[in-house]
Structure 1
């Protein structure tokens, strides 16, 4: 009896662990990933997601300027993002460095040095990033339906400063634009709507 109970408990643990890291279908990943993009950009966006081995792969080749990343099933909570294709080298390099185990500051410093040396190219014009998040309990990985998601907005503008844009270094109210990492390759305008506005 005791042995069967232990076996049963291990089975439950294994099942729970598998369910937390199970990979949604490509169709569901595409549907949920593109929710991060503006509505008129979703159908033509390139989408990267995960195969059944947990590897990041291209799920759909797009026809417009947007690139979307599906939620990482190995991480808690739901987070998808879409960005302008000119940011792809920057984003891909970040993922590559993170995979080697580098910390956030190391990744930032490495990309800063590579942009300054010309090895890594950043957009010559402002380029957008959209991030869509939700808690696990509000995400249906079978249907791809998401409730109470939250969207925030970023506009990369390399080497911009508070002085060159007129933006503050911190928001003074909900949804007020502000500039983060001013004067660096990663300078960007942040817009974070109040949580009550999430859809």
Structure 2
């Protein structure tokens, strides 16, 4: 029994690394940019992962979009692209994550910083497009994803149901609604129904 336990302990790091294998830069870029309109993909800035699993800039951009590659440490495929005007908010979230902060702690920190004026929020709506899919439908050699599903998030800080006319919950499939109304992270959610 002890031999088996020792063997597991020795193999565990290898198993973890196999599950979190970082893909080549060109594949990460290809997959990340699937969340951008096709005509803009060649000019987006892309964040992805280096061999140590750290998030880094993989490609500088020439247009108004920033895309995030799939996190190799998480299940499924999840990439997104957003307006550069959201970068201060998003970058701060990445910094806090790198410090080991959880989601609720990140929310409180960014709220406090936004209210103190030390975190710049967008002054006009800024959109994020999220593309998700299963690993079964993903080709890790080419970066292609079939049967992915889009979701759209339009950040509009401090907006409310009253100021937008949107409900706080969807009452029909795929309809827009406002989440976290009246807060620094207020955003319009649009999740088209799956086919």
- What CA distance in whole angstroms lies between the structure 2 residues aligned with 1:168 and 1:6? 55
| 2:39 matched residue in structure 1 | 40
Could you report, residue by residue, the CA deviation over 1:88-120 in whole angstroms, capped at 9, with x for unpaired residues? Answer: 110111111122232222211111110111100
The 10-residue stretch of structure 1 (101-110 or 148-157) with the greater mean CA deviation from structure 2: 101-110
Q: Which consecutive unaligned segments of at least 5 residues does structure 1 have?
A: none
Correspondence list, 1:12-161, <5 A: 16-161=15-160
Count the aligned residue pairs: 195
**Which secondary structure does the structure 2 equivalent of 1:194 belong to?**
coil
Give me the TM-score of the superposition, normalised by structure 2.
0.91
Gap change, CA 1:126 and 1:12, over 3 Å in 2: same
**Which secondary structure does the structure 2 equivalent of 1:62 belong to?**
coil
Give me the TM-score of the superposition, normalised by structure 1.
0.90
- The Cα shift of 1:40 comes to 2.3
Q: Which consecutive unaligned segments of at least 5 residues does structure 2 have?
A: none
| 1:188 matched residue in structure 2 | 187
